[in-house]
Structure 1
Amino acid sequence: MPDLTYRVVIRLCRALFRVLGLRIDIDGAHHLPRTGPVVVAANHSSFIDFMVVGLVGTRRGRLIRFMAKQAVFDAPVSSQLMRGMGHIPVDRAHGETAARTAYRALQAGEVVGIYPEATIGRAFEVKDRADLRRGAAYLALCTGASVVPVAHWGVHRVLTVGGRVSLRRGTAVRVLVGEPLTRLPGEDAEGLTNRLHAVLAAMVEQLLDTYPQTPAEPGTAWWWPASRGGAAPGTQEARLLDEEARLLADAGRRGR
């Protein structure tokens, strides 16, 4: 059976969501086309946010092939699962290989999932425009695929960077799917990325405005954005933490 591994993993993810009692709400899934090449571009705040972004695809009868860092494909167990699901490894030193694989997937009419922020945003808001990669826009422009923005908020409360893990039941997770972005006359990858950033940032703000579990004391809530009085790192602090983590990861690779 085609994509058997992927379908089994979907069932396991749904079982996990039930165990955790996650209150997942998805709005706008109809914006994801049922057929044809699509680039799904999502914000990145958790190690497991691909699970909730993937739900958008299953609601439309589609499987999203996510681009993920090479390290996930190097681990014994996750390697088999990731390859079995047709996800795409990204080696930062050889990004062109991943781009070619994603290009072929789009040419075959697949949905490719990309995190333009590249790494998890520790401020739990969309990173600054300067920190967004243009890969999603490039792939869309060279294949004719539309870019569907997907914003989510809340799943980082379950598992994210810094050893933050919570098995508390009933966490609200909200997902918002935006209208497909298609190329404007004369638009290049830079312009499309600028539009994508503006849309994603606005969508995350919308989710924050309507989030049903606003902390009673924002200043003590590590998961609530600093811009709203929360204890999460501010934008500049988050950027420094990202750079520190990148340098440590690079040192680890060199030491192998």
Structure 2
Amino acid sequence: MAELVYPPVIGFARTMFQVQGLRFDIAGTEHVPREGGAVLVSNHISYLDFVFAGLAARPAKRLVRFMAKESVFRHKVSGPLMRAMKHIPVDRAQGVHAYDNALRALRAGEVVGVFPEATISRSFTLKAFKSGAARLAQEAGVPLLPMALWGTQRMWTKGHPRRLGRHRFPVTLRVGAPLAPEPQEQVESLTDRLRCRVQELLEAAQNAYPVRPSGERDTWWLPAHLGGTAPTPQEAAALDA
């Protein structure tokens, strides 16, 4: 079936990126398979992460079907677009339905995008990973594609105002080599391997990021362990609670 909505939305997003003057540093896109199913797994630091994570698949001419909370699909603007782009709604009270839809998409050869932290990390460090991405990859017999984003939190994240004007923010993306589930591997072990790989990619993206805070008031987007004033993981967990 022809994709009537997704390509124009991508075109619009790219135009907006140019208007904002965003500067992209993307590496590892050669790891995205040209065909067949895969689970694209990313860290989650911004409300806009699904937009930027999808860029990683464009050199391979793939469209990513993201798993996103069901409320986004009920919004009068985003809802029709999300459905037309065949993204997958997740109702946390009925997760089996979303899992089955994602599994069906993977077996049909789609790339499914998952944020295994489930919610945005206020500390901008990796939270614990849910096991759903690993379970999907195992059951569908497809690889996991680990990736990391950095810089997107400066535009729109929890607890901070949106900054969507022309700020010329750098955005760094790193995609790693596919992880294949090993025979008889426990889902917990695969999830741990996946999280370790995303952590490595996140550190690589942070090290490559060309900007450092320009003053005390500009340290909010930097994790505490890197000298910033973002909440520590413990403080972030308390805020989430």
When the two structures are superposed, what TM-score results if normalisation uses the length of structure 2?
Answer: 0.96
Gaps of 5+ in 2: none
Question: SS at 2:41's partner residue?
Answer: strand
201-210 vs 78-87, which moves further = 201-210
Displacement, 1:219? 7.1
| Change over 3 Å in CA distance of 1:108–1:14 after alignment to 2 | same
Question: SS at 2:25's partner residue?
Answer: strand
Alignment equivalent of 2:153, drawn from 151, 156, 160: 156
Displacement, 1:125? 1.7
- Is 1:218–1:229's contact at 8 Å kept on the other side of the alignment? no
Displacement, 1:218? 5.8
The amino acid of 2:23's aligned partner reads R
Match of 1:92 in 2: 92
- Is 1:21–1:171's contact at 8 Å kept on the other side of the alignment? yes
The amino acid of 1:99's aligned partner reads Y
Match of 1:239 in 2: 237
Gaps of 5+ in 1: 244-256
Q: Deviations over 1:70-101 (max 9, x none)?
A: 01001111110000000000000000000000
CA distance in 1, matches of 2:125, 2:59: 26
Question: SS at 2:56's partner residue?
Answer: helix
1:177-188 maps to which residues of 2 (within 5 A)? 177-188=175-186
- Is 2:41–2:147's contact at 8 Å kept on the other side of the alignment? yes
CA distance in 1, matches of 2:80, 2:71: 13
Displacement, 1:162? 1.2
The amino acid of 2:141's aligned partner reads G
Match of 1:114 in 2: 114
Q: Deviations over 1:94-121 (max 9, x none)?
A: 0000000001000100000000000001
CA distance in 1, matches of 2:217, 2:206: 16
Match of 1:254 in 2: none
Question: SS at 1:58's partner residue?
Answer: coil
- Is 1:32–1:148's contact at 8 Å kept on the other side of the alignment? yes
Displacement, 1:163? 3.4
Q: Which has the higher helix share?
A: 1
The amino acid of 1:165's aligned partner reads R
The amino acid of 2:236's aligned partner reads A
Displacement, 1:164? 2.7
Displacement, 1:217? 3.5
Question: SS at 1:46's partner residue?
Answer: coil
CA distance in 1, matches of 2:158, 2:111: 27
- Is 1:225–1:233's contact at 8 Å kept on the other side of the alignment? yes
CA distance in 2, matches of 1:210, 1:26: 10
Question: SS at 1:54's partner residue?
Answer: helix
CA distance in 1, matches of 2:216, 2:28: 29
1:26-65 maps to which residues of 2 (within 5 A)? 26-65=26-65
Root mean square deviation of aligned Cα: 1.3
CA distance in 2, matches of 1:241, 1:105: 35
Displacement, 1:220? 4.5
- Is 2:19–2:166's contact at 8 Å kept on the other side of the alignment? no
Match of 2:221 in 1: 223
